[in-house]
A = this chain, B = another copy of it.
Amino acid sequence: MASQNKPSIGFVGLGAMGFGMATNLVNQGYHVKGFDVFPASVERFQAAGGVAASSLVDSATDSPFYVVMVASADQAQEALFGENGVVKALPQGATLLLCSTVPASYAESVAKELKSGKSDIFFVDAPVSGGVQRAANGTLTIMAGAEPEALEKAKWLLEEMSDPKSLYVPGGVGSGSNLKMVHQVLAAVHILLSSEAMGFAARLGLDPQKTYEAVNKSDTWCWMFENRVPRLIEEDYVPGASAITIILKDAGIITSMARLLDFPTPLSAAAESMYLVALGQGMGRLDDASMIRLYYPEPVKSVKVEEDAKVELVFKLLRGVLICAAAEAIDFARFLNLDLLQFHELASNAAGGSIQFREKGLEMIQGQTSSDTKIRKDLAEAISAARKVNCPTPLASQALSLLQK
């Protein structure tokens, strides 16, 4: 039940993440008016205790706080500034959180457009990370960049949605989105890597469940692998907890920004191309764990187990790519003048986390260069083994080229 002492919150974008975030606020006792272009999503929100808004204007009217969690910058622009959009309907001095993953340049353009029209709005660039479950639990990681007054206004709301605390990203609007973007370098690479590693394991004849457990206990653990592989093993792709189109959009933000800045992000670009191939095969709406199909077209559960297959080869492939992904993300963050230790703390505890990032990544940030011949030789050995069993290795091969420089 909504408390009368708590401020009303407007919300647009009741997809998987948005639904979780909005219902969490409902469960905390807030009056949340939610809108979505899909009426079914609004009905589901209403059934979960939310207030169904009949339009964007309805969701924004009398809402001193407003959260945007639509899927892209284009959708955000339409929702905020389109005819009958949110901004015109917000009350004087409202606080507006843009939680969608968007290019920093877009977040900056929102701030600019507000300044020239509705300069009373307190705007926070606040992308999130953590996945559906943490959205629903109010334990997301939020990367908030804004003017100090806006952050002050938004603080309580950010805290309701995040745990242990939101990150205040120095640099104002745009910095939050930049931090999210470099985090997504890890996400975009690790999601595909989970399929690359499990496809390799399947072709080697390794038992999928045992491989999953062995990786999670090893120094090649990463959050995405632990999270995605159960769905990959069960082929739990429809509707999918996170569709290929979502990580594809995030990968597009990384590579388009990188092209604009003339900064190389080869692993992210290789991953993006594979997601685009999947999209062309009609897989866009499937869960991203289905990327395994481009590596191993049969269900991995059907693998004929070879007793002498070596899981160490999978570790070697994972380790090399995880280290190069950490390097790509950190180098890009450095190029963007982000606070590297803040990024390191954030990503180590979010969906981009890996043991290699936490350990080797910290060394990279501290400027310790360790040209690790063993990592490179191990990766080459894994790729040679993958080639023998006809497993594609777009990420591992790219990583090897980077290590050979």
Determine whether the beta carbon of A390 is less than 8 Å from that of B269: no
CB-nearest residue of chain B to A392: B276
Q: Could you say which residues of chain B place their CB within 8 Å of the CB of A279?
A: 390
- Residues of B near A384 (CB, < 8 A) are 256, 259
Q: Quick check: B280 and A390 within 8 Å, CB to CB?
A: yes
A197: chain B residues within 8 A (beta carbon): none
- Contact flags A368-394 to B (C-beta < 8 A → 1, else 0): 000000001000100110010011111
Tell me if B400 and A264 are in contact (CB < 8 A): yes
Min Cβ gap A260→B in Å is 8
- A269 contacts B397, CB within 8 Å? yes
Whether B264 and A387, one on each chain, are in contact in the complex, defined by CB atoms closer than 8 angstroms, is no
Stretch of A222-230, A290-298, A356-364 at the chain-chain interface? A290-298
Contact B272 A397 (CB under 8 A): yes
Report which of B265, B273, B296, B391 forms a contact with A394, defined as CB distance below 8 A: B273
Q: Does A255 contact B (CB under 8 A)?
A: yes
Decide yes or no whether A262 CB sits under 8 A from chain B: yes
Provide the bound-state CA to CA distance between A398 and B252, in Å.
15
A266 proximity list for chain B (CB < 8 A): 266, 397-398, 401
**Does chain B have a CB within 8 A of A116?**
no
A199-240: which residues lie under 8 A (CB-CB) from chain B?
Answer: none
A392-B273 contact given A252-B387, A387-B255, CB 8 Å threshold = yes
* A296 and B280 in contact, given A264-B400, A264-B401, A264-B405 (Cβ under 8 angstroms): yes
Bound-state Cα–Cα, A264 to B404, Å:
6
CB distance from A277 to the nearest CB of B (A): 5
25 A-B pairs (CB sep. < 8 Å): A252-B387, A255-B397, A256-B387, A259-B380, A259-B400, A262-B376, A264-B400, A264-B401, A264-B404, A264-B405, A266-B266, A266-B401, A269-B393, A269-B400, A270-B397, A274-B277, A276-B393, A277-B277, A280-B294, A280-B295, A280-B390, A282-B297, A394-B394, A398-B398, A405-B405
